Chain A
C-alpha cells in the first residue's frame, strides 16, 4: 500500500483522520503498518494505525504516556506475543512479509528487528560475549568472524575505544550509558534491518543521552531506526519523521520540522508546545 504525504485516512471519528506529511527517504518503506488494531483483553490499545516507516531514516514515536507508542514498537518484533489476551487485527509487513501471518517465523523476525530497551539490559557475561550473543544463537562458531563482528559492532556503537582493553570483563561493570551503547552494539551485531529503540535514554544522564543521540545520528542511513521517546527535544534532534500518537491513535505522522514547527493537527500543536502531556 502506498501512502502519500497528502492522503488523509480516517483514524477514528472523534479524532479525525491521521495527518500525513512524511519526508521520504531514498530506499522506500522498510516497515508497512496498515489498519492495525490491537486489544489487551477487552481493552483496545491501538486503533487502526496505518503508517510506513521509511528505510534508512529515523522515525520517532512520541505522545503522552499510555498512548500506545511502546505497544506499537513492540508489535514490530512481536515482543508482545507473551502477553495474555493479546489480539490483533490488520497487517504489519517487513520487506513484504506479514509479521503476524500464521506461518511467520518469530525468531527470524526478531533477527531482522534489533531491539534496544528502555533500561540497559546487558547479560551478566563479558562485554565480548554480550555482543557476540546474536551470532552465538545463530550457531556461528567461526572465531575470527565473531571477533570481527564484535569489533565492528562496538565501533558502530562508539564504544570500542572505551572497552577494547576490557572486552573479557563483565559487562555489568560498565556505566549506564556505556551499557546502553553496548546494548545497541549487541542489537546491530545481528545485522538487523530495523533497529527498534524503546526510550533508550530515559534511564541515562544528559551526557550519556547526548552520546546516544550522536550515535543514532551516525547510524542513520545504515539502519532503519524507530525510536520511542518522551523527550520532544530528542525527537526533534534525532528524527527525520515523527509520529504523534494519542490514546491509541496515530494523530499526525510527518516530517520532523513540520511537526514541531507547524503541526497540522491541533492536538499535535498542543502536545509539542507543552500544553498537555
Chain B
C-alpha cells in the first residue's frame, strides 16, 4: 500500500522510486500494490509520468497494481496513453557506426556529390546548347529581372569595396616604393593588379555572398514549396526555366561588374596618388595608361566571366538539390557562398598558372 499526498504538479519534486524498487526486488515483495491518492490535492502530467514509471516497475516484477484509489481523470488519461501500443520499429536506436564504416560512407558521399556536380554541369550545358538552337524554355522577363538584380543593384557595394581595395593597394605599394623614390609606379601597381585579377576577384567574392546566396535560397525555397516539382511535372525542365536564366544573367553581368570594379579601384589609387603622394593628376593618368595593355584587360575579363558562371552554377546547384526543410535552405545557402568563394580562388590559381605557361 502506497499513500500519495500533496501537490503533484510540474515544479514540485517527486519522490524517487529506488526504495520501492529495492523492496520489489527483495525475495518476498508481496502480490499486489494498492495506491491510495485520497490525500492528493493537485495533479498534472507529472503525476502521470510518475504513475507510468510505477506501473512499469510493477509489470517488471509481476505485481498487480490496483488503480482503484486514483482520481477518475488520472485513470482515464493512463488508459488513453496505453490505448495505442508503441509502433514496432518506430523508436530510433542510436547505432554507433564502426570507424571503417564511417570512412566508407563519407567516401561514398563525396563520390556521390562529385558525380552529382558533373551531372548538373552536363545538364546545364545541354540546356545552353538548346538555348543556342532557340529552343530553351524560359521567360525573357525573368532574365531581365535577374540582370537587374545581379547587375545594376550590385553597383553601390561593388563601388565601395573596389574603391577601398584600390586605396589599400596604393597605400601598401606606396610605403615600399617611396623607399626607392619610385612613387609614380603606384599607378602601374594599382592599374595592373586591379585589371589583371583583383577587380574580378573582388566583384566575384561580392557576388558569391550577394547573388550566389540569393540563388541558393530562392531555388531552395522553391524546392521546399514543391514549386520545382510543379515545373517538372508540367514537362518544363527546371534547369532551363530556373537555372539557365540565372547563369546567363550573372555570366553576362559579372564581366561588366569586373570592369567597373577595375575602374573604381583605379580611382581609389588615384586618390592616394594625388592627395597623399602629391603626384600630378596627368602624370598619374599617363603612367596608368602606359602600364596597362589590352592583354591585361582581356585576362581580367576572362577571369570575371569564369567567376560569374562558377558563382551562379554553385548557387543554383545547391539550391536545386535542397532538402525539404527550413534548415536545409540555410545549409545550402552557406554551402553556396563557401563553395562560390573556394571555386573563385581555385579558378584564379589555375588561370594564373596557365597564363604563366603561355607567357602572358
Q: Do A and B bind each other?
A: no
